[in-house]
Amino acid sequence: MISLNNNTCFFFDLDDTLIDYEAAFEQASFFIFTQMHPECDVRKWFRKFKFYCDEYWKLLENGKVCRTLYQKMRYEQALTDLGLAAGKGESEVFHENLAKVIPRFCVPFSWVSKLLSYFFERDIAWGIISNGFSRVQRSKLKVLPVKVDESLLFISEETGFEKPDIRYFHFVQEKTGFSNLVYVGNSYEQDVAPAAAAGWKTIWLNSSQGGVTAVTAEMAEACFIM
């Protein structure tokens, strides 16, 4: 049970927590790849591409490869599986364009408007803690129904910290001064575990166990929202 008081602040992850990033990622990938390889079956390519996104993710998460190499590996391996070869610098071009267009396809989950409106009407503090590049993440924020307070917005490129580093959460607590902190995220390793280790209460939106909507209803009930 999460109690609310003047020292309470809810912080949310952005991608796949407030915003349906997976859907936006797929649509944007289709859009860019079709322009680069009109001769290729984009759906077949994307199935391969998404497989390697997940397959190589642990390497990135564990610091075995940098983000640029991770992106290059997943892109080029998907092409190789289809009997195609990537041109020089092709992965970089694809991912640069992908980052530019993804915000166009981003939409918040259906429950977000109701929850954030509730927070706004009752003056419940909320903010965002997100990994990513400042320009890209800020572009995505434009689709949210309620504007986030700038003093409660934390993006890794701007702070110098990146989840799952627990120092990120200590930094946010020190900057904001709240003592009753709750973090809501979709990843156990990136969101829940480090926030809990930093002494925060946590809510895991685990889509593999009942879906985001079902878990959000549970979250709202726990917070006396429903």
Q: Are residues 211 and 127 in the same domain?
A: yes
Tell me if 103 sits within 8 A of 140, measured CB to CB: yes
Structural domain count, the chain:
2
- What is the residue range of 15's domain? 8-20+108-222
Q: Are residues 74 and 129 in the same domain?
A: no
Question: How many other C-beta atoms are found inside a 10 Å radius of the C-beta of residue 6?
Answer: 10
Tell me if 28 sits within 8 A of 105, measured CB to CB: yes
Q: Give the model's pLDDT for residue 124.
A: 92
Amino acid at 219: M
Q: Are residues 120 and 206 in the same domain?
A: yes
| DSSP alpha helix (H) spans, 16-124 | 21-36, 42-61, 67-81, 90-105, 112-121
Q: What is the CATH number of the domain that holds 196?
A: 3.40.50.1000
Q: How far apart are CA 85 and CA 49, in angstroms?
A: 14
Q: Are residues 112 and 78 in the same domain?
A: no
Which DSSP symbol is given to 147? P
Q: Are residues 74 and 150 in the same domain?
A: no
- Express each pLDDT in 137-191 by its tens digit: 999 999 999 999 999 999 999 999 999 999 999 999 999 999 999 999 998 889 9
Sign for the pseudo-dihedral over CA of 112, 115, 118, 119: negative
Of 81, 105, 129, the position where a domain reaches its end is 105
Tell me if 182 sits within 8 A of 200, measured CB to CB: yes
Mean pLDDT of 54-61: 90
Tell me if 186 sits within 8 A of 12, measured CB to CB: no
List beta partners, residue 184.
12, 203
Q: Give the model's pLDDT for residue 189.
A: 87
Per the model's pLDDT, the better-predicted residue between 226 and 210 turns out to be 210
Q: What is the CATH number of the domain that holds 68?
A: 1.10.150
Lowest mean pLDDT among 8-12, 41-45, 110-114, 210-214: 210-214
Q: Are residues 151 and 80 in the same domain?
A: no
Q: Is residue 3, in this structure, part of any structural domain at all?
A: no
- Express each pLDDT in 122-138 by its tens digit: 899 999 999 988 998 99
Q: Give the model's pLDDT for residue 211.
A: 42
pLDDT level of residue 1 (50, 70, 90 thresholds): low
Q: Please enumerate in sequence order all residues whose Cβ is within 8 A of that of 130, keeping only pairs 6 or more positions apart, or say none.
A: 13, 14, 15, 137, 154, 155, 156
Q: Is residue 2, in this structure, part of any structural domain at all?
A: no
Which DSSP symbol is given to 198? T
Q: Are residues 173 and 126 in the same domain?
A: yes
Percent of the chain at pLDDT > 90 equals 76
Q: How far apart are CA 103 and CA 109, in angstroms?
A: 14
Q: Give the model's pLDDT for residue 225.
A: 37
Give strand ranges (E) for 96-179. 125-130, 153-155
Mean pLDDT of 95-100: 94
Q: Are residues 43 and 137 in the same domain?
A: no
Threshold 0.75, pTM exceeds: yes
Q: Is residue 27, in this structure, part of any structural domain at all?
A: yes
pLDDT level of residue 208 (50, 70, 90 thresholds): low
Q: Is residue 144, in this structure, part of any structural domain at all?
A: yes
